[in-house]
Every structure is written in structure tokens, then in C-alpha cells.
Amino acid sequence: MTAPKKLFIKTYGCQMNVYDSERMAEALGGQGYVETKSADDADMILLNTCHIREKAAEKVYSELGRFKGLKADKPELKIGVAGCVAQAEGEEIMRRQPLVDLVVGPQSYHRLPEMEARTRTGAKALDTDFPEEDKFEKLKNRPKAKRGPTAFLTVQEGCDKFCAFCVVPYTRGAEVSRPADRILSEARDLVERGVREITLLGQNVNAYHGAGADGDMTLAQLIWALDKIDGLERIRFTTSHPNDMGDDLIEAHGACSKLMPYLHLPVQSGSDKILKRMNRSHTAESYLRLIERIRAARPDILMSGDFIVGFPEETEEDFQATMDLVQEVNYGYAYSFKYSTRPGTPAAERAQVDEDVKSERLQRLQALITRQQRAVQDSMVGKEVSVLFEKPGRQAGQMGGKSEYLHAVHVEGTGIGVGDLRRVRITASGTNSLGGELV
Ligand code: SAH
Ligand code: SF4
Ligand code: F3S
């Protein structure tokens, strides 16, 4: 028997890329590959890339440059680029970096085994199609190995919203929902293998409308179907668009005990003028009213959001409206970015805000967000939460996991196992995590 070939995958970008990397590893597992944690001993290196901001895309080329020496020492080493940069730049990647053997877009992963075989003949392989066939079905040859207590599961992919700053509709393609029965059987399989918490993924996850037994299902209906799976204890989903937050989904937050009280609901800006120019089709006011309704259904829900500062034509007044909105919502988590021009998107053509102004606004926003996050985290002290334990904590004897609100929690670990779900009283709030003791 020949020794297994080694595969090194490096993942950038969003959680869907994490899920995709797992699927790619499984697909190449059928070709005799096992995963390795280091590029140095790999027979194949795959970068699963992100195109969302310029910095993310540029990282890929500097990383590829670093593999030159490895390839010189081991000419049979294959180097591949997958993900959203692969989709956006295609052949250009091989022109810019000739050591790349393979370029595969997010909708073509199921064709990786054939592509890998082609590279073994010394040829280059490129596939950035949006094929008709269901890649998830073709990627089903998963091993039945045990796995950790949390998992991602893609239920919806792509986006039809075309926000003026965003590459996702171009890199992931049109919005597509997977049929419910396939999602449910994948979920059951994960639970059999030890998973207790599933995060449903989609670029526009709450627009989910996959086929069910009696017509299309909403995300809330899918969540209720998952709720019936014994052994599955927690359900999360990300990322949602404010305009697709259906009444049944809001209600589920109050009624479904497995649905965790955490909601990532990006708003991007607090200025209606900017929201309009972003093509977001909601206002600051409609977003705030929506959060009121969500909090009425589930008062303790922890809100999280995304913000872009320095979008074209953003004035100080527009930025102030974003600060005001953040004040009003009181986020438990929020992610903020300087606007980055993306080639091919409408906003790239418009009058840009000065880089210095962007940086200064980002600093002010992040200072506010950090204070808010910290205050929300500190307010957990004295409360009882449930923690799903995932791994040993940083200090000896500790176990770490996540609360229902997605806060990291560590506890002195006597008798706690990975995958245990336990009640914990929070006793301390540190920089990035909470400390507690078993109840
Ligand atoms: N709706 C998607 C958003 C993906 S991008 C999802 O569901 O995951 C994640 C975040 O990146 C966006 O919410 C936005 O805040 C930010 N982003 C997207 N394009 C950007 C750009 N051109 N410049 C800066 N930030 C951007
Ligand atoms: Fe991008 Fe907007 Fe679609 Fe989110 S909703 S993926 S930000 S276009
Ligand atoms: Fe990045 Fe593509 Fe995800 S651009 S954020 S990896 S959908």
C-alpha cells in the first residue's frame, strides 16, 4: 500500500469557507489524501480564499509567494486556490503566480477529485463554473468519524441582494436553498457523530426557502424540523438580512428552546442616505423597530451586527447616525470595517472618502463597540448560563466552551467532558472570556 498523500488546507474568510474546507478535505480523502497541519510536509496545498475586502484578497498572493521554496524542494507538490478569490479572478491567478496548479470556484468543489487527477499529469486545472448539479449531493462521501460538539451546516448559498459594496453575489452566485430533507439527514448524521450544536449557514440564511414535503419551507420551519432531532441540543444560524426576518422566525426565538438567543443582523450604517446608496432597502428606523420586535419575543437575545465606515459620500453627520444607532441597539458583538473598493461593484465607481477619515471614524466606532461589548459581557456576572464544553481551557485543569449567548466561558474542569452541556454560574468577566463555576 502506498503512503497516504498529505493535504494542507488554509481557510480564510467566513464560516461558509470553514464548512467548504471540510467538504473539500472529504472529497480529496477519496483520492487518498489525509489532512496535515503543516504546509511543509504537504503533497497538496489548498488556499480557501476570501474576496470580501482588498486586504483579504491580497493576502492570498503573499501567501502563495511563500510556497516558492517548498515547490522548488518538492516539484510534485500541487498548489491550489479555492474560494471567492478563485471565483473572482480565475485564470488571472495562474498568470500572476505561475506556481498555482489548480483554481476552483465555490460551486465546483465536487469536481476537485478529477481536477486533482489532471494536475498529476502535469496539466493545470481551472473550474469556476456555476454548474446545475447539486454539489452537496456529490460531496456526500463523508467518513463516519467522530467529531467535535459543534458543526456548521450550509443550508443556503449565494445572494440576490446586490448591496453596492459587496462581491458575494458575484463570487457565490445567485441565492440557492438546499432541499430540507438533505439538510435534515446531514444534521442527523452530524448528531450521530457527536455534534450537539449546529450553526446553519447562508450568505442570506433567513431568505431560506428550500423544498420541503409540502412545498417550500421557511428557515423557521426548518429550525422546527431540526428541533425534533434527539441529541441535537442547540441551533444557531448566520447571516441574516433585516428584510428577510419573517414573523415565524421572530416567534421561533421566543418559542424554540433549542434556538439560541443570539442573532447576527448586519445593518452596515445608521444613515438612511447611505443605506439607500448601499442598496440595502431598509432604513435605520425599520431596523430598530425590527430589533424591538425580536426583543419582545426573546428579551435576553444578544444582538450582533456588521458596520462599514467611509462608504462613498459618507459625511460626518452620516457617521454620527451610525454611532447613534449603535448606542440605541446596545450590541453584544459587532464587527466594523473600513469600506474597501471592490472591482466590479457599483460603489467602486463613486467618489471615495479619504483613507485618513475612514481610519479615524473606524477608531471611534470600534471604541464605542468595545465599550458596549465589554459592558454586555460584564453584565453576565452573577447570572446562570448553559455552557457547551468544547475543549480544555488555556490554563491547566480548565475546560472551555460557549454560553447560549456565544460568550466564551471557562470553568475549573473536574469531571467535565468535551460535548457536555452544563449549567454554570458566571463569577468573573475577563478581556475575552467569562469565568464561572458549575451549578
Ligand atoms: N450578508 C453576508 C455578508 C458577508 S460579508 C453574510 O451574510 O455573511 C460580511 C461583512 O463584510 C458585511 O456585512 C459587511 O459589513 C462587510 N463588507 C462587505 N463588503 C465590504 C466592503 N467592500 N468593504 C468593507 N466591508 C465589507
Ligand atoms: Fe453582500 Fe448584501 Fe448579499 Fe450580504 S446581503 S451577501 S452584504 S450583497
Ligand atoms: Fe469572503 Fe466569500 Fe465568505 S468573499 S466572506 S469567503 S462568501
Quote the Cα angle for 204-206-210, to 5°: 95
Residue 142 reports pLDDT greater than 80: no
pTM of the model: 0.96
| CATH 3.30.750.210 domain locations along the chain | 146-260
Cβ–ligand 1 contact at 14 (below 6 Å): yes
Ligand 1 close to Cβ of residue 52 (< 6 A): yes
Q: What is the mean pLDDT of residues 80-95?
A: 96
The predicted pLDDT at position 144 comes to 72
Architecture label for domain 384-438: Beta Barrel (2.40)
47 lines ligand 3 (CB under 6 A): no
User: Do β-strands 434-438 and 408-412 pair in parallel, antiparallel, or remain unpaired?
Assistant: parallel
pLDDT band at 182 (very low <50, low <70, confident <90, very high): very high
Summarize pLDDT for 313-364 with one digit per residue, the tens. Answer: 999 999 999 999 999 999 999 999 999 999 999 999 999 999 999 999 999 9
pLDDT cut 90: percent of the chain above it: 91
pLDDT bucket at 1, cuts 50 / 70 / 90: low
Nearest ligand to the CA of 339 is: 1
**Which pLDDT score is estimated for 132?**
79
The yes-or-no verdict on residue 417 having pLDDT over 70 is yes
The ligand whose atoms approach the alpha carbon of 342 most closely is 1
| Position 226 pLDDT exceeds 70 | yes
Whether the per-residue pLDDT at 138 is higher than 80: the answer is no
Query: Residue type for 200, please?
Result: L
Portion of the chain with pLDDT greater than 70, in percent: 99
The residue contributing the CA closest to ligand 2 atom 4 is: 203
Ligand 2 within 6 A of CB of 204 = yes
Distance CA 409, CA 53 (A): 31
Ligand 2 centroid to 130 CA: how many Å?
19
Over residues 49-59, the pLDDT tens digits come to 999 999 988 99
Give me the chain's average pLDDT, please. 95
- Among 204, 307, 345, name the best residue to mutate to test ligand 2's pocket (greatest count of ligand atoms within 8 A of Cβ): 204
pLDDT at 414: 75
Whole-number pLDDT of residue 141: 62
Cβ–ligand 1 contact at 304 (below 6 Å): no
C-beta atoms surrounding 437 within 10 Å: 11
Query: What average pLDDT does range 171-193 have in this prediction?
Result: 96
The single residue listed with the C-alpha cell 428550500 is: 210
Give the tens place of pLDDT for each residue, 238-295.
Answer: 999 999 999 999 999 999 999 999 999 999 999 999 999 999 999 999 999 999 999 9
Q: Which fold has domain 146-260?
A: Transcription Regulator spoIIAA (3.30.750)
CATH 3.40.190.10 fits 262-379, yes or no: no
Which numbered atom of ligand 3 lies nearest the CA of 15? 3
Other C-beta atoms closer than 10 Å to the C-beta of 438 total 16
Give the model confidence (pLDDT) of 106-116 as tens digits.
999 999 999 99
* Closest ligand relative to 169 C-alpha: 2
Among candidates 278, 158, 279, 275, which has minimal Cα distance to 288?
275
All CATH 3.30.750.200 domain ranges of the chain, comma separated, are 262-379
Question: Separation of 322 CA from ligand 2 center, angstroms?
Answer: 19
Quick check: 245 and 206 in contact, CB under 8 A? yes
Residue nearest to atom 3 of ligand 3 (CA): 14
Strands 384-392 and 398-403: antiparallel
Establish whether residue 385 lines the binding site of ligand 3, counting it when its CB lies within 6 angstroms of any ligand atom.
no
Task: Give the nearest ligand 1 atom to 266 CA.
Answer: 13
Give the CATH number of domain 5-127.
3.40.50.12160
pLDDT at position 139, please?
A: 74
Residue 298 has pLDDT above 90, yes or no: yes
The DSSP bridge pattern shows strands 302-309 and 333-338 to be parallel
Q: Is the pLDDT of residue 63 over 90?
A: yes
Please tell me the predicted confidence (pLDDT) of residue 294: 98
Expressed in angstroms and rounded, the spacing between residue 358 Cα and the centre of ligand 1 is: 16
Mutational test site, ligand 3, from 9, 15, 52, 238, max ligand atoms within 8 Å of CB: 52
Residue with CA closest to ligand 3 atom 1: 50
Residues of the chain with CATH 2.40.50.140: 384-438
